Structure 1
Amino acid sequence: MAVPELSLMNINHRYYSIETFFKAAGEAGYRNIELWTGSMHLYVDCHEHDSVDKIRDLAAQYGIKIVCVCPEQNNPKPWNVAVRGEAGQKRILSYFKNVIDVAVELGAPQILVTSGWAYLDEPAEDAWARSVAMLHSVCDYADTRGIRVALEALQPSESVLVNTAQDVARILEAVDRPNLKACIDFGAMEVAGDTIDGYFEVLGDKIVHTHFVDVGGGTTHLAWGDGERDMRADLEALMRHGYTGYASAETCDGRYYQDPSKATTQVIDMYRRVIAEMEAE
């Protein structure tokens, strides 16, 4: 059974240009990236988005495939899936339509979404209903464009709506759209006390993407080798369940911002060592 292919996110290069990110990814040996739409790399809002020509050209130059688009969407960013009010909901839908259009233009097969967040002084079920309604609309537009939508859980400090594998299953059932699938975020998974096996028991082949990070010392998006998880055990768990998506390195912590390329190389070096060990047995 094939080992999930590694992908890299640009979120850790937020203080560097997109050119530097692609150069670092290409020189380290990455062949896949997940594009985070931080405004410093690709500006997207509810009215417009930057031209994707530069990113498309860089991907071609370095032989890199864009496998997912991950838009800005969590508090305090303005793009809340569970936003209140008709005007806000109109803006959010327009925003996600632009994100989907970016994915199409870049040849990416999917976008990444969350449930959005609730106000803490309102019933969570009110925000849940708004989230489900918005996800209906986002998925319906994505379907017209041939795009899959992968939803990940958030940590309780980010949202009270979807935190566990069971929560992900519940919202997928409520939205009930065939192009809405699940992403395992390893950070959210560990905080919730979930496991890879537990996710697959609940969601099975609906899992199409992972945010593949190390976790340790209370930090949830570490470069592999800086936390306490076992990369080989995690890859083998994904393989055991027939997972065919990407292992997308969402390394993101202030300790890496000055020299993100070091973490970029550290992750792929460990990945290669683990694969070599597996193949040698």
Structure 2
Amino acid sequence: MKIGLFTSGYQRNPLEHAFEDAKRFGYDYIELWGGRPHAFAPDLKNGDIDMVKSLIDQYEVPVRIYTPEHNAYPYNFMIGTEQMRKDAINYLKLSMEMGKEMGAEFTLMSPAHAGYLTSEKEIWHRLIESMKELTNYAEKINHKIILEALTPMESNVCTTANDLARVFGQIESDHLVGMCDIVPPFVQHESIMAYFDKLQDKMQHLHIIDSDGTTDTHVTPGEGVLPLKEYLMELKHIGYEGTATIELVTAYINEPRFYARRAINNLKALME
């Protein structure tokens, strides 16, 4: 299993710190957060992509997944007017272009909240319409989308393995695959391992972190209440050899370098 460092928690530090730490702490790859000041897709298009590629070459750490910010202001393809949706879709198309250019295999997308007054019918129509358009573009440029389910605290659109499976049942494409962030199933008492059964070969990526058991907070591995050691044993049992990003988001933004080191050391100790 390949272990990745997520760069969102480094947004108050130079991006180079994330690449340097991935190299010195023993991470296999980087999952690059696409928000300012580091890797916002329009900034990459305007020349910053060369900076990212130079860091990849300098530290010999690849970017395997590009994760553009689109769960809040100003981009969310699940809420607002049709023009707002189109604006978000165009942004994500550009994000896929930039992900492909930096050598990433995947661009990660997670449908955000659709608003409290939106009906289930409206939510699903907008989700499928948007994902079809994005998947068609992924096929055109020969890139892959990873679709992520969020917690019910974050979204009312796609929050379970069944939701992901339903999307894949309506959009058949090798360029659209799924993943499991293990916090969403854990906090809503859904089976984490069921993702593998329900998604089958679509199950191609993980976000591994710990949990407080009640909120969407992402906790350093081994310091929450999730039975991580047993989960890792099950991953070994089923022979999972894909990617697993330790998704420390912003809970440790004051000292990301301390916690990036602790996180991978804790995870490797649990794996032993």
Among 130, 133, 146, the alignment partner of 1:134 is: 130
- Per-residue CA deviations over 1:125-163 (Å, capped at 9, x if unaligned) read 202211110100111111122211111111112211111
Structure 2 partner of 1:19: 16
Partners of 1:194 and 1:70 in 2: how far apart? 25
Structure 1 partner of 2:231: 234
Structure 2 partner of 1:155: 151
Structure 2 partner of 1:77: 73
- Per-residue CA deviations over 1:29-77 (Å, capped at 9, x if unaligned) read 2220100102111122599555211111111111101110111111x32
1:54 to 1:96, Cα distance in 2 relative to 1, 3 A: same
Structure 2 partner of 1:203: 199
Among 56, 60, 75, the alignment partner of 2:57 is: 60
Q: 1:1-150 counterparts in 2 under 5 A?
A: 4-45=1-42, 50-74=47-71, 76-150=72-146
Structure 2 partner of 1:212: 208
Query: 2:220 matched to 1:223?
Result: yes
Aligned-CA RMSD value: 2.0
Conserved 8 A contact 1:207-1:243 = no
Indicate the SS of the match to 1:119. Answer: coil
What amino acid maps onto 2:137 in structure 1? Y
Offset at residue 15 of structure 1 (A): 1.3
1:54 to 1:46, Cα distance in 2 relative to 1, 3 A: closer
Indicate the SS of the match to 2:218. Answer: strand
1:243 to 1:107, Cα distance in 2 relative to 1, 3 A: same
Indicate the SS of the match to 2:101. Answer: helix
What amino acid maps onto 2:30 in structure 1? I
1:50 to 1:158, Cα distance in 2 relative to 1, 3 A: farther
Conserved 8 A contact 1:83-1:130 = no
1:164 to 1:154, Cα distance in 2 relative to 1, 3 A: same
Query: 2:262 matched to 1:266?
Result: yes
- Per-residue CA deviations over 1:67-125 (Å, capped at 9, x if unaligned) read 10111111x32221324433223212210111101111110011111233212112122
Partners of 2:268 and 2:30 in 1: how far apart? 17
Partners of 1:102 and 1:149 in 2: how far apart? 13
What amino acid maps onto 2:48 in structure 1? S
Q: Equivalent pairs: percent with the same residue?
A: 28
Offset at residue 14 of structure 1 (A): 1.8
Structure 2 partner of 1:171: 167
Q: Which shifted more, 230-239 or 8-17?
A: 230-239
What amino acid maps onto 1:224 in structure 2? P
Number of positions where the alignment pairs a residue of Structure 1 with one of Structure 2: 271
Partners of 1:184 and 1:29 in 2: how far apart? 23
Conserved 8 A contact 1:212-1:250 = yes
Q: Which sections of structure 1, spanning at least 5 residues, go unmatched?
A: none
- Per-residue CA deviations over 1:247-267 (Å, capped at 9, x if unaligned) read 10111243x111111111112
Partners of 1:253 and 1:84 in 2: how far apart? 26
Q: Which sections of structure 2, spanning at least 5 residues, go unmatched?
A: none
Q: Which shifted more, 217-226 or 159-168?
A: 217-226
1:19 to 1:46, Cα distance in 2 relative to 1, 3 A: closer
Indicate the SS of the match to 1:51. Answer: helix
What amino acid maps onto 1:106 in structure 2? M
What amino acid maps onto 2:13 in structure 1? Y
